[in-house]
Structure 1
C-alpha cells in the first residue's frame, strides 16, 4: 500500500469514527445544512461570471548569467493589516489565538468570481468569462505559444501537454511541473524529451514559444521546478532519500545548503523550503537567495507560495496527512509574523486541495465541505467569501484547479 493510500485509509477511518461516535443528533449540523440549501437555491439561479488574468506578455527576454534579484518591497503605510504576532529570527512562528477564522463554506457570502484562470473539469474559464473546452483534463495550465501548456498525470508519471488556442492537444511528452516568471514572459519545466541524448533538462522557454530562446540546464531525473529568482535563474528541488534544492543558471546548478525541499522562490530574492521532515511534522525556513542566509524558521507551518510582491508567504499545516490541508495562513515573508489565519474546526468535514495568490493581498483556495467543492477568497485582513458556486463532489476528487500564476 502506498503512502497516499495509507493517508486515504487513515482519514476515512477517522471520518467514519466521528460519524458513529455520537449517537445523538447534531442540531448545529442540521442547521448548517439547512442554511446551505437556502444559499444554494439563491445562487444556482444566477449567472456565474469568471475572470482570468491569463495573458501572455509579448516580451523577448535576454538570458544572462546573474540572478538579477530585486530587493523585497517595503511596508506600504496605506495598507491596513490586522494585529500580528511577533517573531524573532530564531524562534518558531506563533499562531494567533483570537484572530483565527473558521475555514468552512457554511454561511459565506458570494463575492466576485476568481480573477485568475481556473479549470473546472475539462473546461478552462477564460478572460472573457466564456468556457473553453479542452482536449483532456489537466491539473494546471498556463499560456504558451499562442495556445496553452498544461499538466497531467498518468500511470507513467507527470506529463506536459501542448494545446492550441482552441484547446486541442498538439502533442504530449513526459515532464515534471512548470513555473512562470513574474512578468508571465517565461515558463520553466523539466523534461528529457527535448534533449538529443535523452538526458533530463530544466528548460526555460519564452511563453511566446520561440525555440531559439530556450535555455537548457542538465538536472537530475527527479528534479521539479519551484520558482524563478530572475529571468535566467530558476530554483528546483530533487526527491529521493536525501532531497536537495538547487539554483539553476546558464552556468550550471548551485545547491542551496540547509534545505531538504523547496516550496517557492521569488524574484524579490527569497527561497522558501523545508529544513526537516519526519512522521510527526516538518520545519521550514525562508532564506535569502544571495548567500543563502536563513531569515527565519518555523515548525508550526509548511510553506506554499510567496505573494506576487514578495511581502507575504502562504503557509499550511506542518504535518500533512490525509487528503488535504486544514489550515491556510498568511505570514510576513521577512519575519514569519502571522498576518491572517484560517483553520477548520475539529469536527468539520473540511479540507483544502490547493491555494494560490489572486493578487498581492488576496488568496484563492479550493475547499471541500460536507460533500461540496467551491473556490473561496481569503485575504490579509481575515475576510473570507465564496468566489464560485459550491458544486457537489467526493472529498478525494477536487474538480477545480488553478492556472499557474506569474
Structure 2
C-alpha cells in the first residue's frame, strides 16, 4: 500500500470508529431530502442534455470509438448472455489491497450504525441485525429477519421504526422496501398479524419521505392470503411482487388501491420512473431477464440467462445477476437498458472465498456492492470499465456492512 492509500485508509478508519454526537432525525431527514432534490434536478438536466446531443458520435460512450458504440435497438432485443467486448478485471486482489476510493454516495449500515449520504450517523441496536433500511419522515425503517418470536419465513422480516433515542416494532412484513428513482418516496408492506398465513391480510404503505411523518403514509389494504413485496415506484404507483398461494404475479398499486397486473413479468426486479419501465423475469420464461413497459407490460428487452434488477439513476443501465452452482458467487454484470447488450462484468474482488451481495447503483453510474470474506467486510465500487476500488475500510466482522434501500 503506497503512502497516499495508507493515509486515506487511516482517515476512513477513524471516521468509521469515531463516536459522533447524536443528530436529531428531523435534521437528518431535512439534509437528505435537500440532497435528493438536488440530485433529482441534476438527473433531469443530464437526461435532457443526453437528448439534446443524441447526434454526437459514440466516442463518448465508455471511451469506445464511434464504430463500436452501441446503438438503440429498433426492435425487441435478445441481449447476449456473454459479450467478448465487455471489460473484465485481469486478476483479483485481496480486499485490504484494493485501492481506497471515494466513500458511498448512498446510505449504508455498518455494525449498529446507519450512515446517511450526508455523513450523519445514527446508532441503534436494531441496525446491528438489520439487512436493509430506508428513511421516512419520522425516522428510519429497518428490516430485521426473522420477526420476533417467529421461525424464519421466506421474504418476511420484523419491521422497526428507529426515531430519536428509541425504536418501535411495527410488526412483521416484507423484508424489502421500495424507493422511487428520485429517492424521495418510499413504500413498505406490513401484515395484520404474524406469522403471515393464508388467513392474514395486510396493508401497503407509501408516501413522500418528507411528509410521511406529518400526515401518515398512504395505506392500501391488501387481500387476505397475499404476501406483498414492494419493488419500486413508477408513475402509476407502487410496483409489487404478489404471492397468493402457489400463484405469483407483478402488480402496480395506485394510491386509490387499484391493482394493475403487469402481464409481461413473472417477478419484478427494479423500476425506472423516468422511462416508466420495469425489469424482472419474463412471464413466459423465468430464466430470461426482461424490461417491460410499466403501463402495458409490452416487452422491450430480453436478456436470456440473467435476472435483471435495479436501473441506474438515469435509466441507461440495468444490473443483472446470473446464479452459479456451488460455492462460487453469482455473476454480476451491467447491461444497456435499451438494447440488452452487456456493458461490463463486475468480477468478484479478493479471490476465492469472497462473496458479493446487495449490488446497487450509486448516484454517479458506478455500482456499489458488499464484499464479505474470511478477511472481513467492506463496500466495493465498480465503474463501467469493470475497475474496482474500496469505498470503505475493511471491518474484521463479516457481514458488518449492508446497503440501505435504493431504487
TM-score by length of 2: 0.74
1:221 equivalent in structure 2? 226
Q: Structure 2: how far apart are the matches of 1:103 and 1:260? A: 37
CA distance in 1, matches of 2:375, 2:362: 25
Task: Report the alpha carbon displacement of residue 370 of structure 1 after superposing the two structures with TM.
Answer: 4.9
Partner of residue 300, structure 1: 305
Hey, what's the Cα distance between the residues in 2 that align with 1:323 and 1:277? 29
Match for residue 82 of structure 2?
95
Deviates more, 1:131-140 or 1:93-102: 93-102
Q: CA deviation at 1:125?
A: 2.0
Q: How does 1:6-405 map to 2 (within 5 A)?
A: 45-48=10-13, 49=15, 55-56=32-33, 74=51, 80-83=61-64, 89-97=76-84, 99-101=87-89, 104-106=92-94, 107-127=97-117, 129=119, 131-136=121-126, 137=128, 138-154=130-146, 155-156=150-151, 157-166=156-165, 168-176=166-174, 177-193=176-192, 199-207=201-209, 208=211, 209-211=213-215, 214-219=218-223, 221-230=226-235, 233-239=237-243, 241-249=246-254, 250=256, 252-267=258-273, 268-275=275-282, 282-317=287-322, 319=323, 321=325, 325-344=329-348, 348-394=352-398, 398-405=399-406
Measure, in 2, the Cα distance between the counterparts of 1:289 and 1:332. Answer: 18
Task: Go from structure 1 to structure 2 and tell me whether the alpha carbon gap of 1:184 and 1:298 turns closer, same or farther (over 3 Å shift).
Answer: closer
CA gap of 1:82–1:293, structure 2 versus 1, over 3 A, is farther
Q: How many residues align?
A: 350
Does the aligned pair in 2 maintain the 1:257–1:292 contact within 8 Å? Answer: yes
Structure-2 separation of matches of 1:290 and 1:199: 27
* 1:132-175 deviations in Å (ceiling 9; x for gaps): 21132211122212321111112354121111134x20333111
TM-score normalised by the chain length of structure 1 = 0.74
SS in 2 for 1:310: coil
* Pairwise CA distance, 1:321: 4.7
CA RMSD, Structure 1 to Structure 2 (Å): 3.7
Q: Residues 44 and 274 from structure 1, CA distance in 2 versus in 1: closer, same or farther, beyond 3 angstroms?
A: same
Gaps of 5+ in 1: 1-34, 60-69
Q: By how many angstroms is 1:378 displaced?
A: 0.9
Partner SS state of residue 33, structure 2: coil
| 1:6 corresponds to | none
Task: Tell whether the 8 Å contact from 1:104 to 1:369 is kept in structure 2 after alignment.
Answer: no
| Separation in structure 1 between the aligned mates of residue 271 and residue 257 of structure 2, nearest angstrom | 19
| Secondary structure of residue in 2 paired with 1:56 | helix
Q: Which runs of 5+ in 2 are unaligned?
A: 17-27, 37-46, 194-198
Give the Å deviation of 1:200. 1.6
